[in-house]
Amino acid sequence: MKRFLNQAVDSALFIRGFIAINIQILLIREFLTIFNGNELTIGIILTNWLILEAIGSGLIGRLADRIKQYALSYIILQIIIGLSIPLSIWILRLTRQIFHITAGEIISVIPMLLSCLFVLIPIAVVDGAQFSFGCKLYSSTKKSEASSIGKAYILEAAGMLVGGIVFTYIFLKFLNSFQIAFILGMLSIASALFLNFSLEDKLKKNLVLRSILIVILALNILIQVTGKTNMLQKESISRQWNKENVVAYQNSIYGNITVIKKQDQYTFFYNGLPTVIAPVPDIASIEDFVHFPMLINPAPKNILIISAAAGGMLSEILKYPVKKVDYAELDPLIIDLVNKFPTELTFKELMDKRVHIKFLDGRQFVKNAKENYDVIFVNLDLPSSLQLNRFYTQDFFNEAKEILNKDGLIVIKCWGSMVYLGKPQKNINASFLKTLERTFNNVRVIPGETNIYIASKELALDKIRAMDIKNWKKLYKIKTRLLTDAYIDYRLDPYWQKWFLDSLNDADKNVLNRDFTPRGLFYGLNLLYNLISPKTKYFFDIASKINLTFLIAIILIFNLIFIILRKSKKLKHPPIPFLIGITGFSGITFQLVIILGFQIVFGFLYYWIGILTSAFMLGLAAGAGFINKNLEKIKEDFGVFLKLEVALFIFALVLPLILGLHYFKVNLFVLRGIFFVLSVVAGFLAGTEFPLANKIYWKDKESIGYTAGSLYASDLIGACMGCLLVPVVFIPVMGILKTCLLVAFLKLSSIVIIKNSK
């Protein structure tokens, strides 16, 4: 019976980790579809999640030492989790209705924050509390004290590792959101029932609780078997899109695609934003973007389009005597759905023999292209995410330059205005212009509501006149609806060129956009949220002034204060929770840097990013397991803790150097292996400290619930700060190298604190 109980407790903690990672991924995907996701969106979601987890672990979890029926408490928490998952998805999909937000409209920050809090509170707070109660349950069952927290941490990490793999390769491929939610709920209730049956105390005789668990589990299974999950999926999608006629709603490994039909018009939304409109597209923006560069190039024959070419753009390009149009589209599901709901426009475009669709990341395609092009269209929106920003960096422009013909052009676009440019618009446009000028000898901007940037290696773009454009248009016999001769004269009037360039004079000076210093991302987010949430300007204004010197000065001041307090004996105990918080921040920073570096080198390879996350969890479990196994043998706790801090310090210095290997044309297979190993090592180093910190902290507190709750909360708060600041502020503003140097200085600060705590 004792063995049966041990298995029940182990499985409960493992399943908790499995469910937690699946809930995170599932809800993040739902949030991204509804909130038109980017790094700020992800930062807000994870920040809320981790703060609420910390509240559950640090505050509610402390009750584990006072409540005698901690096993009953853990089972009740499992029931709440099991019931909350489907309910959270349902509520989340009502968000647009609740805030009266139309399809395609970007949600501002306040509704986003409120939605996150309302949806995540019952799940995240309870999940955080589960860790503390789980540690107490493990400790009482296994009759171990300090090491029990580390072992519970290992079981959770192992569950997360398996959960991440299962979600990526099974759940995501074959199940919809409600099917996944009910399976997770079933696992939570089944775990609670298993735990209930294994207990030897009075709880085992509690027939009411056991009956409730059996009924909930039976209802869960019944809902799945009878197909009610599909009904919930369909009804919630209808409500999510404000009762619009949703004819398709599908998830791929890259994102969500929703197709809405209104009369005979189809709109294809990718992660909540319109990407293809047919049969009547946005002809004004398409004609501007296509015809100006096509009429500037002397003889456009080979064309490359990166993203969203179907639904108008292809048809305009095919009006020219081109020989070949390569169309790089990351997600095959977009084209599958366009073909599933054909219109005369899209049918003619995609059936044309000159069009060759390449289902590949556009940057990967450019890097490995075997032929040269006359025009490269980068048909993407603002660089409001790291994935998009990769197409606006000097590194990408250098790659594109290599596959352009002598007079070839690369074309990008950006939000503009013919009346007034605010500071965010000036900064993003200055970033585009300066980055292109750093790469190409000839750069020209055609100002408008959408600014069109055209760059070439040798074609003298500044000598192109409106008359030349009109003559080429007549020669090719190009028929357009809005691109008239008068309109061409207006757009190419030298006055607008001068006005635009003069407007950029007071933009930021350091605007160059690089892969490892993605300032375009920062400016893109600033512009986007400045329009929909004007008060975010204060956040971005402060963030833009952050620099490494300032942050190091703050760290040094803190260290000085600590040493003074320690010497005066006003601070009696070492600040272990603070040190674990720094490690939580460091661990999430390492993983974000590794994933970003992998994206830069290989493009958006979803499965590999899933593998990198799993590799981090593998390292986390291995690191915690290694230390926990030797925990009782360690005599000099602070001495070992100090060595671990030194290891993290060295890793922070080495990481950016290793990421730079891709500049030296290292074999791609070897490079993938290096990224995998980096993730494992980062997780291992971050995982080693938690069990040891619990042993040190437990000596002072001597209570499992308090120790586990406090340190787990500190770890989560540190990770929370990393999720919000690293991808949105530190990496875009300072770059990867300086961000890693910041972590190194934080670890150096920890080393000073430990040396003065012995």
Which residue is listed with tokens 């307090």?
Answer: 565
Q: What is the pLDDT of residue 282?
A: 87
* Domain extent listing, the chain: 1-240, 283-529, 546-758
For the CA atoms of 739, 744, 749, 754, the dihedral, rounded to the nearest 10 degrees, stands at 140
283-529 folds as: Rossmann fold (3.40.50)
The DSSP annotation for 327-381 comes to EE-S-HHHHHHHHHS--HHHHHHHH-TTEEEE-S-HHHHHHH--S-EEEEEE---
389-418: b or e for each residue (b if 16 or more CB lie within 10 Å)? bbbbbbbbbebbbebbbebbbbbbbbbbbe
H-state helical runs in 94-169: 95-98, 109-120, 126-142, 146-166
Same fold, 283-529 and 546-758: no
Residue 508 to residue 209: CA distance in whole angstroms: 63
Q: What is the pLDDT of residue 147?
A: 64
Q: What is the pLDDT of residue 603?
A: 67
Q: What is the pLDDT of residue 746?
A: 95
Q: What is the pLDDT of residue 554?
A: 92
Q: What is the pLDDT of residue 25?
A: 83
Helices (H), strands (E): how many in the chain?
Answer: 31, 11
Cβ atoms of residues 88 and 27 within 8 Å: yes
Among the listed residues 203, 231, 201, the one whose alpha carbon sits nearest the alpha carbon of residue 76: 203
For the CA atoms of 592, 596, 601, 605, the dihedral, rounded to the nearest 10 degrees, stands at 90
Q: What is the pLDDT of residue 138?
A: 81
CATH of 1-240, one of 1.10.10, 1.20.1630, 1.20.1250, 1.10.3470: 1.20.1250
Which residue is listed with tokens 């209802």?
Answer: 219
H-state helical runs in 533-605: 536-544, 548-567, 576-602
CATH of 546-758, one of 1.10.287, 1.20.1250, 1.10.3470, 3.30.70: 1.20.1250
> What residues of the chain score a pLDDT lower than 70?
1-4, 37, 61-65, 142-149, 200-205, 570-574, 603-610, 665, 698-709, 757-758
Cβ atoms of residues 26 and 180 within 8 Å: yes
